[in-house]
Structure 1
């Protein structure tokens, strides 16, 4: 086991400014995660509605073209999520 004094990230914050900064970082991370989760669920729901034929959102093509649009939207969503998590301040 490592000592907590070796890793500065695991030391408790002592000042109010440090606690506020840590709270902001955690809140931003939660907002990012919530936004990506909400958009992922919406994309999944729209995809399932499209697959069952309840809705027809993309009138420009049948079959594979519609699913390529969903794959593209999914890749965009994943790339935005990865970008936002990598750009998180240290």
Structure 2
């Protein structure tokens, strides 16, 4: 059985201003992750509807099916970049 850490990973805050700032930082970053997750689920839903042929969301901007999937890929890439940015703000 391994021995637990003797030092806490984060030091407790003793100042109320520091605690308030840390709480706001946590709320802002976790809200960003939640928004990226919701956008990801929406993008997944649109992709599934597009794949089954139930909708043609990108028809106004793309004529062929390949162009429509290209537009979807651009949105997916943007989502991946946004997800990476929001996650790096939390871990960094």
TM-score by length of 2: 0.77
Name the residue aligned to 1:72.
74
Name the residue aligned to 1:54.
54
Name the residue aligned to 2:7.
3
Runs of 4+ in 1 over 3 A off after TM superposition: 1-4, 84-88
Deviation at 1:18, TM superposition (A): 1.4
Closer, same or farther in 2 for the Cα pair 1:53/1:25, shift >3 Å? same
The answer on whether the counterparts of 2:50 and 2:57 sit within 8 Å (CA) in structure 1 is yes
Task: Could you tell me which runs of 5 or more consecutive residues in structure 1 were left unpaired when the two chains were aligned.
Answer: none
What RMSD over aligned residues (CA atoms) do the two structures have, in Å?
Answer: 2.0
CA distance in 2, matches of 1:24, 1:16: 12
TM-score by length of 1: 0.78
Name the residue aligned to 2:17.
17
Task: Could you tell me which runs of 5 or more consecutive residues in structure 2 were left unpaired when the two chains were aligned.
Answer: none
